Every structure is written in structure tokens, then in C-alpha cells.
Structure 1
Amino acid sequence: MDVESLQKSGRRRGSCLDVFLVMSIIVLFVAVTAVAAGGVIVVMDLQSKLMDLQSKAIKVDHNHDPLTSDSAYKMQNVAYLEAITNGLNKLENSTMQWDTVPYGAGQSVGTNFIFKKTQHTLMPKQAGTYFMYINLNLTCIFRCRAGLLTVHVGDKLTCEVELPDSTNSKPVSKKCWTVSRLDEKELLTQMTVPKEGLENWQLNSSELGMFLAD
């Protein structure tokens, strides 16, 4: 077993989670500011800023292990999940399945959350205001028809993806987020497709995250 390779992989995973947390805090600040001012956030501009932030964070952490750093974020109020896609990536009316990822000596769901893998639910232990985000990545494997994919995270976040007619494997991505009041209630992530289906579209690596903003 290549121990050095595994260590590098762990550092990359930790770096990605740290970048996620930094981006989440920035997005939350922008969202709260926009609501207070009654303004409208332009999504494309926001995504551009997030990409710039991610690039800068990666450069800063290039020679830096986020898993042992004093500046690493505490995970108790943060939950980060990745979609399970091993043979289960067909788009259909279903409950999306998620799993945690290793983070330091533990997993990517903090102690202030309850994640039930077999029931596919995530629940905060504490009522409060939470930032929630979902990132969907899809690929056409062969002659895919256009259609609307809708994903609901409980009744708090809805993400709609307009999929085009496609004959290639160029990926389609969509990020959706919200700041919402959550109670101690289990959240299911439900996928809905048109009646005619979305044959040959597949879900790739996708993410669900949230953190307590109070």
C-alpha cells in the first residue's frame, strides 16, 4: 500500500472541505447583506467570485496541511456529504443517497447533526438559521433528451437543472443555496424527473452541505 499516496489524498480531501467552509461563509455573508439591502444577487457573478476564492485558498494551502493546522475549522456545526453514485446514478424519481467522507480523525458530519445513511436523512440537533447548499453534476452518456431535473432538500431548498438535448459527455453543473430556519427535523433529498424520463443522463460527483449560521 502506498502510504504517501494515501496521506496526500487525505490532505487534498481536507483542503477541499476547508475551501467549502470558506466559500460557504463568504456566500452566507453576501446573502445576508443582500437580504438586508433588499438587493438581488447575480448568480453567475457569485459563482465567479467563489471560483476565485477557491483558487486563492488552494494556493495558500499548497504547502500546508489543513488537517493539523491551528486555523482549521471546527466541524461540529458543519455537515458535508457526497452523493453515492456506484451504479445508482440513473436519474429517476427517487431519494438521493449520500455518504460522509473522511475528515481528519473523523467524518465530515459534525456532532451537532444526525446523519442516517440507511434512511438517507440528515437532521440538525439544534434549531437555528442554517446555510444550505447543493452542487449537482450531470453527464450525458449517449443521445440524451432535454428535460428539467428537480431536487428538493426537504421543503427548504429546491434546485432545478435544465438539461439540454445532448449527444456528448460534456458535463452540466448547477449550484443552489439558501439561508433558512431549520428545526430538529430529518431532511430527505428527493429527485424528480419529467414523466417522459431523462434516459442516459447520469448523476456524477455531487455534494450537499450545511452549517449553523446563528
Structure 2
Amino acid sequence: MHKRMDVESLQNIGRRRGRCMDVFLVMSIIFLFVAVAAVAAGGVMVVTELRSKIEVRHPSFGNGTPEKQRDPSAPAYKMQDFAFLDANSSKLKTSTMQWAAVAYGEGTSVGSHFDFNPHQHSLKPKKEGHYFMYLDLVLTCTHQCKAGVLTVSLGDKLTCSVQLPEGAEAPVSRKCWTVERMDGQTPLVAQMTVPQEGLENWKLELKGSRLGMFLVD
């Protein structure tokens, strides 16, 4: 009799433990799902907030058109952490891309916390930290263009590839961005890579093609 009761008790305990494990497993799955959803939602919110800050603090990122003059009421120190350069050559070839600083407010588009070498076409942040960096590329077909892929690499930090369709009638634009840590000593150079043939009738539009970056933290 006692053995039967012991067996039944063990079976009951086993069933209860099994139900507890089932509940625990279900709750774990629900928690994991909620956590993943929260992380995803948080990531979207972070990116959205970051983009809004970029467009407010750096209008040239939002629409490709720099401000003609900085708002006198804006803190002057902000421009120290910003730099953007316009493309200086429309020719597509495998080479170092050419850039030029532009007039911005009372100075240029290169903040004092950056070094721009116009001869080497390199841009170096002077401060160590995380930087938001982006490439804007706008290309147009001049006559009976073939399809191909144009690639621009900003050091080992950012690679931007543009799919160029055959016989495109409208400009093709591509915006690429990333956030990377810089050591405050390494200059960045944009390297353009094109196929050996096929992009002869494509050109890079100087208006709207841009390299930019600013200090995040």
C-alpha cells in the first residue's frame, strides 16, 4: 500500500514539475519575444532620433543642400565637431576621390576638430571618439550608359556601392552611413572603384555628392 502511494506521489510530483517546466518554458519564450521586440523598437527609435538630430544640427545631411549661413543664435562650438566636403571631380575612375571644403557661415565646412588635406584629399578627426560618417553619391547618365556597379570605400569604416542601371534617364542617388570609432590620428581617404569598362558615359554630379562626418561622443 505504501509503495503504491509512493509511486503515485512520485507521479503526481513528476506531473507538477512537468507542468511547471512547461509554464517556465512558455514564459521564457514570451519574455524573449518581448525582449527582442523591445530591442528592435529601441533600435528604430535610436536611429530615428539620431537622424532627426543630424538633420537639425547638420542640414546638409537631410537634403544635400548646405545652409547658406549658420543661425547666429546657435552655439558656435557645434561647428567644431562637424565636417563635410563636396566632390571635386565628376570623372569615374579607380582612384582616390577628390574633395573640396565649401564656404559655411563665416568659415568653411571643416570644423576646427578636423584636419582636411586638399592635396591628399584626406579628412582626419583630431579627437578620439565615435563619429557618424556618411557618403552621398549622385550619378547621371550622359549617353547610352551601360549597367554597372560603382563602389566607394571610406578607409575600412564605410563601403558604399551604387547599382547603375542601363540607359538610366533619371539621376541615381545613394546615401550610405555608419557610426565608427576613430583614434584621432588616422586620416580617412575615399577610394573609388569602377569596373574596367562599362561606366564611361556615367558621371558623378558635383552638386549633391558629398562626404561628411561629425562627433557623436
User: Which whole-Å deviations, capped at 9, do the CAs of 1:180-210 have from their partners, x for residues lacking one?
Assistant: 1112201110000123241100000211110
2:123 paired residue number: 122
Give the Cα separation in 2 of the matches to 1:65 and 1:115: 21
2:86 paired residue number: 82
Q: Secondary structure at the match of 1:178?
A: strand
How does the TM-score come out when normalised to structure 2?
A: 0.67
Gapped runs of 5+ residues in structure 1?
A: 1-35, 58-63
Give the Cα separation in 2 of the matches to 1:37 and 1:182: 26
Check conservation: 1:92, 1:192, Cα contact below 8 A: yes
User: Which whole-Å deviations, capped at 9, do the CAs of 1:30-72 have from their partners, x for residues lacking one?
Assistant: xxxxxx925676xxxx7xx87xx78xx8xxxxxx985352126
Q: CA deviation at 1:117?
A: 0.3
Q: Which amino acid aligns with 2:122?
A: T
Given candidates 61, 71, 74, the residue that maps to 1:71 is 74
Check conservation: 1:92, 1:197, Cα contact below 8 A: no
Q: CA deviation at 1:90?
A: 1.7
Check conservation: 1:90, 1:200, Cα contact below 8 A: no
1:203 paired residue number: 204
Check conservation: 1:135, 1:174, Cα contact below 8 A: yes
Q: Which amino acid aligns with 2:178?
A: T
Aligned-pair identity in percent equals: 52
Q: Secondary structure at the match of 1:76?
A: helix
Check conservation: 2:147, 2:198, Cα contact below 8 A: no
- Between the two proteins, the alignment pairs up a number of residues equal to 161
Bigger share in helix? 2
Does 1:100 find its partner at 2:101?
A: yes
Q: CA deviation at 1:164?
A: 0.3
Give the Cα separation in 2 of the matches to 1:84 and 1:127: 28
Check conservation: 1:66, 1:72, Cα contact below 8 A: no
Q: Secondary structure at the match of 1:126?
A: coil
Query: Considering only CA atoms, is the larger Rg found in Structure 1 or Structure 2?
Result: 2
Give the Cα separation in 1 of the matches to 2:156 and 2:190: 9
Check conservation: 1:128, 1:213, Cα contact below 8 A: yes
Range moving further from structure 2, 67-76 or 150-159: 67-76
Q: Which amino acid aligns with 1:212?
A: L
Check conservation: 2:68, 2:105, Cα contact below 8 A: no
Give the Cα separation in 2 of the matches to 1:175 and 1:99: 19
Check conservation: 1:142, 1:167, Cα contact below 8 A: no
RMSD: 2.8
Give the Cα separation in 1 of the matches to 2:120 and 2:87: 14
Give the Cα separation in 1 of the matches to 2:195 and 2:182: 29
Q: CA deviation at 1:101?
A: 0.7
Does 1:179 find its partner at 2:183?
A: no
Shift of the 167–156 alpha-carbon distance from structure 1 to 2, 3 Å rule, reads closer
User: What pairs with 1:1-214 in structure 2 (closer than 5 Å)?
Assistant: 37-38=39-40, 66-71=69-74, 74-85=78-89, 89-166=90-167, 168=169, 170-183=170-183, 184-204=185-205, 205=207, 206-214=209-217
Give the Cα separation in 1 of the matches to 2:200 and 2:39: 43
